[in-house]
Amino acid sequence: MLHFPIGKSSDCQALSRRQLLQVGGVGAFGLSLAGVLRSQATAAEKPGKDVNCILLWMSGGPSHHDTFDPKPEARDGVRGDFKPIATAVPGVHFSEHVPRLAGALKQFSLLRSLNPRQGAHSAADANMLSGHAFTPVMSYPCYGSVIAQQKGGRNAMPPFLQLGTNLSTLAGGGTAAFLGNANNPYVVPSDPNSATFSVRDLTPPNGVSFERVGRRLEMLQSLDRWQEHMERSDLITSMDTFYKKSHELLTAPETKRAFDLGLESDQLRDAYGRTTLGQSCLLARRLIEAGVRFVTVTDGGWDTHADNFNLLKNKRLPPLDMALPTLLEDLRDRGLLESTLVVWMGDFGRTPLINSGAGRDHWDSVGNVIFAGGGTKAGVVVGATDAEGGTCVRDQYFTQDVGATLYQQLGIALDVVFTSTDGRPIPSWVGKPIAEVV
């Protein structure tokens, strides 16, 4: 199932007739790809780096104590139930429940000294996924939307795709914001690990043939010709082109192949893990191969206010420890790792002090981020936290620095100035790339 989200308007004015045609008018007739493809075609290919990105979003805020920054010497009530284990980098320890990631540390870099400065879920999603501090006055576009707007699509595939819906958009997180609905992600809410996984609007539902899709296209073209007679405009006269592109996307064999996980070997699917996260990571790799520039993989269940240790040990960490190392190995084996930046992160970290429900609460002062591929360094651990993991004590960085690092590696100029819907110039960035990583 493929979903085309319509973002909130950045002001209180109603949508004009032209805007309705651009972002959803044709969707009422069942071919909503057309409006989005039309707008994306206006994004010219920019010279420079041509690096893709797979962003793994751990919704809820993973505990840094119980994953990549354990504090075994901390007092009772802080150190937690998990034991530390050695990693591939001497002197660096991870939690015992991520052994494969510990052994793979020389394949990626870890930022231990992120200060998110935000501890509320929706605002943190907006903050971490855009690099701009949340403000109720304005939402900022997420990384994938900026890539879509700046670079456009390579082929019939959309430039920006999101797998899963474990992401809060209440504060604008994960959306295109003032860049417009055409640069929102194509959201696939279906579970790639399900035996009945399909992508609506790419794989016709039962009982709907491609011939029927063709008849629908003819009807839309007839409506288009009528509209052209009523209102002469560049938008209307060019619609046929975008309807045809939509139809090509719906029927293209390469599109169907990109989403067909059955084309992968059982051995590789098992290596990723027969979980939603594992199969989503495998699908993300296939989408990158098919021409998608930016894929966000969302994974829920990291908001561990209660029963933190059982949830991490039995549900959250095992799928991650299979999926992420396998993704890096798979990309490397296919010659895609240098041209694909992989980023792992979540809302924020969690409290040093374990609460009465054996959980950890939101912590807005520390978080972890993993970078791999895309020209970043490997085997590097950046920064440090204090003895209880509550404060960054060396090489502190902020979310705008994470964003600057992403944009630099993806070939986006850090001095781009966007224009809001009311005509205001908006600088794209204020942070600095993390030197130890790039």
- For the residues of 69-83, what is the DSSP string, one character each? S--TTSPTTTS-SPP
Predicted confidence at residue 199, as pLDDT, reads: 75
What is the domain extent for residue 74?
A: 50-202+266-427
d(CA 242, CA 252): 15
Mean pLDDT of 387-397: 98
99 occurs within a structural domain: yes
pTM: 0.83
Mean pLDDT of 412-431: 82
Confidence check: pLDDT of 180 > 60: yes
Predicted confidence at residue 117, as pLDDT, reads: 96
127 occurs within a structural domain: yes
1 occurs within a structural domain: no
Spatial contact of 79 and 72, defined as CB atoms under 8 Å apart = yes
Confidence check: pLDDT of 317 > 80: yes
123 occurs within a structural domain: yes
Q: Name the residue with tokens 């054996």.
A: 358
Q: How distant, in Å, are the alpha carbons of 77, 100, 384, 396 from that of 401?
A: 32, 28, 16, 10
Predicted confidence at residue 246, as pLDDT, reads: 55
Which of 9-23, 114-128, 190-204 has the highest mean predicted lDDT (pLDDT)? 114-128
Confidence check: pLDDT of 293 > 80: yes
Predicted confidence at residue 252, as pLDDT, reads: 65
Question: Which is more confidently placed, 429 or 100?
Answer: 100
149 occurs within a structural domain: yes
Local confidence band at 138 (pLDDT 50, 70, 90 cut-offs): confident
> Which segment of 227-241, 369-383, 387-401 scores lowest on mean pLDDT?
227-241
> Which segment of 50-64, 222-236, 309-323 scores lowest on mean pLDDT?
222-236
Local confidence band at 249 (pLDDT 50, 70, 90 cut-offs): low
Predicted confidence at residue 326, as pLDDT, reads: 98
Predicted confidence at residue 368, as pLDDT, reads: 98
Question: Which is more confidently placed, 227 or 284?
Answer: 284
Predicted confidence at residue 424, as pLDDT, reads: 82
Instruction: Tell which residue, 127, 147, 46, has the closest CA to residue 410.
Output: 147
Local confidence band at 134 (pLDDT 50, 70, 90 cut-offs): confident
Number of domains in the chain: 1
Instruction: Tell which residue, 233, 292, 291, has the closest CA to residue 22.
Output: 233
Mean pLDDT of 232-236: 46
Predicted confidence at residue 22, as pLDDT, reads: 36
Local confidence band at 228 (pLDDT 50, 70, 90 cut-offs): low
Q: Which amino acid is at 422?
A: D
Confidence check: pLDDT of 29 > 60: no
Q: Which CATH number goes with the domain that contains 141?
A: 3.40.720.10
Instruction: Tell which residue, 431, 428, 430, 437, has the closest CA to residue 409.
Output: 437
Print burial letters for 199-225: b (CB count within 10 Å at least 16), e (below 16): bebbbbeeeeeeeebeebbeebeeebe
Mean pLDDT of 244-253: 60
d(CA 45, CA 205): 34
Q: With H, G, I as helix, E, B as strand and everything else as coil, classify residue 129.
A: helix
Confidence check: pLDDT of 215 > 70: no
pLDDT tens track for 153-173 = 998 899 999 999 999 999 999
Mean pLDDT of 356-360: 98
158 occurs within a structural domain: yes
80 occurs within a structural domain: yes
Print burial letters for 328-351: b (CB count within 10 Å at least 16), e (below 16): bebbeeeebbeebbbbbbbbbbbb
Supply angle C-alpha 84, 107, 377, rounded to 5: 110
**pLDDT above 70: percentage of residues in the chain:** 77
165 occurs within a structural domain: yes
Helix axes 33-40, 239-251, angle to 10 degrees: 110
Question: Within the chain, how many helices (H) and strands (E) appear?
Answer: 14, 17
- DSSP state string for 275-296: SHHHHHHHHHHHHHHHT-SEEE
Predicted confidence at residue 137, as pLDDT, reads: 85
Mean pLDDT of 18-37: 38
